[in-house]
Amino acid sequence: MRKVHGNDSFQRINYLYQISKCMAGKNAGLSSYYGNLIINVAKKNVLKIHPDIKRLVCKKCRCTFVDGVSAKMQLKTNNKRKLMQWRCNTCGTIKSFLLDKDKEQLWLERPEAVVEVIA
C-alpha cells in the first residue's frame, strides 16, 4: 500500500460530503455550508476533489445534489450529443456533463479513465 499525500483531508472531505448529502432536502443552508467546507478543505490542501463528489456539488450555492430532493437530473440530447443535466433546486443553477455517444456514460466512468487505485 502506498501512502498518499493528504489522506486525512480526503477522509474529511468524504465525511463532509456524507453530512452534506444527508442535509440536502432537509436544510439547504447546512448542506451548502458543508459543501463549502469540502471546497475549502480541498483548496487549502491543494487536493483534487473526487469527480463523483465534485459533480454533485452545486457550483453556485454549493449544495449537494440528490436527484428528486435537492436537484433534478435530466438526460438531454443537444446536437446529437447526450448531456446529463443537473438543476439545483436551491438556486436554479444548471450543471451539465457530456455523456459518451452510445453508452450514456461519462468519460470518467470508462475503464481507461482509472490510472491507479490507491488504498
Q: Which of 16, 24, 58, 99 binds Zn ion (CB under 5 A)?
A: 58
For residues 49 and 13, the answer to whether their CB atoms sit within 8 Å is yes
> What kind and span of H or E run contains 8?
helix 7-23
- Binding of Zn ion by 90 (CB under 5 A): yes
- Tell me how far, at minimum, the Cβ of 36 lies from Zn ion, in Å: 12
Q: Which of 19, 22, 91, 106 binds Zn ion (CB under 5 A)?
A: 91
For residues 34 and 5, the answer to whether their CB atoms sit within 8 Å is no
Q: Residue 75, SS3? A: strand
- Binding of Zn ion by 93 (CB under 5 A): yes
- Binding of Zn ion by 42 (CB under 5 A): no
- Binding of Zn ion by 56 (CB under 5 A): no
